[in-house]
Amino acid sequence: MAESEVIGDSYHMGKRVVVVPGMENVRAAFQTLKWPDYMICALTLLCSVIIGVYVSFFYTPVTAKEYFLGKKKLKIIPVGLSICASFISGFLMIKIPTDTYLYGIQHVYLIIGSIAMTLVMNHIFLPVLYRLNLTSVYEYLEKRFDKKLRLFGAVLYIIYMLSWLPLTICIASATFVSVTELNINFVTPVLCTICIFYTSLGGLKAVIWTDVFHMVIIFASLILITVKGTLDIGHIDVIVDRNLQSGRIEGPNLNLNLSETNTLWTSVFGGCMYYLFVSAINQNVMQKYLALPSLKDAIKTSWLFVFTLCLITMLCTYCGIIIYAMFHQCDPLTTKLAAEKNQVLALFVMKVLSEYSGMSGLFIAGIWSGTLSSWATVLNSVTAVVVEDIYTIFSTTQFREKQWSILLTKFTSIVLGIICACLAYTVNNVDTVLKINSIIFSVTGGPSLGLFIMGIMFPWINTKGVFIGGISSLCFMAWLIFNTLAGNNFTSPTKSLTTTECRYHFVPQQIFTDQTNTSGVLTLGEEFFQMSYLWHPLLGVLISVLVGFSINLLLDSPDPRDVDPRLLAPFVKKYIKPREFPNEPGDGIIYAFDSSKKVTNDVSSLECMQPNNS
């Protein structure tokens, strides 16, 4: 038989011509959304609007505080589901299966870090922040230190969140466009407009109840694709066996290399700090805890949140395992059937669900639900920070208790939503937005968390030390990240990917660039500059605390007994010896009487206290 030769989409094999489908034909075959799919997507958006209108009709907040906290009458289950829905986002619903397909299940061990975070938050952060009756968590920084630190923390939060919102919208829009012929410039404004509408209309309560609805859609979509994918492959043993052979299912990585993204140590220690930053001190999560009737309810809600988060993480990971079992001999990234890695999940869904009208639409609705939940939560929380932390600092009027504050609050929400929509609309490249967000997270995460840790856990540290520590940490992390970008990019090696059984014509493509350091061994300096992003919050905290303590040694330290005990962690208060007298000043005055003796009305007992005029 003569040697085969590729001509267009045909193979000349001797006297036979074997016609195989071309890439465009195969890609077009996967774009099979039908009108029931579009109908389910449209109904998801419509229901979100209806819930927002319904809540705003039956619930009318009088002040900005009621608008942001729902009158503190929310329930455990809705709030717990809402926190999880906003935390997962459409981005993580795509990222976790994709990372499993490419790198294996090491990210699952982040669950340990999330549980550790919950323990720390419930015993250190939540008891302090909840009992202060806050609206914005950054109010704590003013109560503990001063307005400058409150403004500093609020600005870092706003910058980070404004970089994160376009990412969620880009992911959701790109996923929908990858399986349809619609333009991304049409999808993005529609999602943004709907989210802005119901968020500004109903406040936090509308966000909570739309999140509950979205959580139902998310669970339904994940269960649907995992069950159908398992049935298509045939048996769960086949799925497990294929992933075991490729090394995707494996035990925890005990390597001490800082540059590896997912090791056991990264997941436990780095993951705990990462989750503390995105949960314990982030307004978008803590605001929902503050809206509950009691601290006991808030603690229960935190455990419901972490349980639901672990459940969805496992579902998304199993989905990634199924994807590999489905494509284990024909990788769509190498063939470029999937233009980028974020489209692998959408490709898998269209393959297993396209024969059932409406089912693919349910998956798209799940991605949109995660996106809308994240968007609504962040939009509401950023509005709260702007109103409570920015406006009130520079305003001379009492704002929050005025009835007209509701109108200004809603107007602020709409303006911020439009700004975020413009950012998402102008930046449609997912990789670019992801890179920008990762940089801002790495730079701001540690300094922000360090401010709260120094305030809650170290009563003897002074305000100047905290401020200089936070600024120093911010500058150091910016220097580190930009030096990392300027250096060599060490990419994480993927697991085995093959194309031996592909049934269509393609030009092989390299998925990722090779590691610049071909030896595979990093020097200590290279390892430091290429450390996993999960280590960045921990490093930022250490820098801010070390600098803060150094400054504290050079200046006068405040007396821990002068700090309001409500501003300190419960276990810290136990080690602060109370003053002998409640009104004893901290200016070093020596009292001219013995506290061990009872005070009497006998004049002679006071003679020693009379001034000597002789």
Tell me if 563 sits within 8 A of 586, measured CB to CB: no
Confidence at residue 313, expressed as pLDDT on a 0 to 100 scale:
92
Homologous superfamily of domain range 38-57+73-510+525-554 = Sodium/glucose cotransporter (1.20.1730.10)
Confidence at residue 55, expressed as pLDDT on a 0 to 100 scale:
81
Between CA 384 and CA 389, with CA 387 as vertex, the angle to 5 degrees is 90
Confidence at residue 396, expressed as pLDDT on a 0 to 100 scale:
59
Residue type, 108: V
Dihedrals φ, ψ of 586, to 5°?
-100, 35
- pLDDT tens digits for range 562-598: 888 899 999 888 888 777 665 555 555 544 444 444 4
| SS3 letters across 282-319 | CHHHHHHHHCCCCHHHHHHHHHHHHHHHHHHHHHHHHH
Q: Which residue has the tokens 């002074």?
A: 462
What torsion, rounded to 10 degrees, do the Cα atoms 143, 144, 147, 150 define?
A: -100
Question: Three-class SS of residue 488?
Answer: coil
Q: How far apart are CA 205 and CA 193, in angstroms?
A: 19
The pTM score is 0.82
Confidence at residue 486, expressed as pLDDT on a 0 to 100 scale:
65
Sorted by sequence, the CB contacts under 8 Å of residue 311 that are 6+ apart come out as: none
* CA-CA-CA-CA torsion sign (388, 390, 393, 396): negative
Confidence at residue 609, expressed as pLDDT on a 0 to 100 scale:
42
- pLDDT tens digits for range 373-422: 888 888 888 888 888 888 877 765 555 555 567 777 888 888 888 887 77
Confidence at residue 445, expressed as pLDDT on a 0 to 100 scale:
87
Number of separate helices (H) and strands (E) present in the chain:
24, 3
103: nearest Cα among 313, 260, 271, 274: 260
Confidence at residue 388, expressed as pLDDT on a 0 to 100 scale:
84
Q: Which two tokens stand for residue 567?
A: 């501003």
Confidence at residue 449, expressed as pLDDT on a 0 to 100 scale:
92
Q: Where are the domains of the chain?
A: 38-57+73-510+525-554
Q: How far apart are CA 283 and CA 377, in angstroms?
A: 9
Separation in Å, CA 335 to CA 9, 179, 342, 508, 512: 14, 17, 15, 5, 13
Between CA 436 and CA 409, with CA 141 as vertex, the angle to 5 degrees is 70
Question: Three-class SS of residue 270?
Answer: helix
Q: How far apart are CA 502 and CA 505, in angstroms?
A: 8
Between CA 350 and CA 356, with CA 351 as vertex, the angle to 5 degrees is 70
- From the first residue on, what is the mean pLDDT of each consecutive set of 10 residues in the chain (614 residues)? 40 41 51 75 86 78 76 88 84 87 90 93 93 90 90 89 77 67 69 82 84 89 90 89 90 83 87 88 89 93 93 93 91 81 83 78 81 83 86 65 69 84 68 71 88 92 91 91 67 78 68 43 65 87 93 83 88 80 54 45 42 42
Confidence at residue 130, expressed as pLDDT on a 0 to 100 scale:
92
| SS3 letters across 553-597 | HHCCCCCHHHCCHHHCCHHHHCCCCCCCCCCCCCCCCCCCCCCCC
Confidence at residue 517, expressed as pLDDT on a 0 to 100 scale:
41
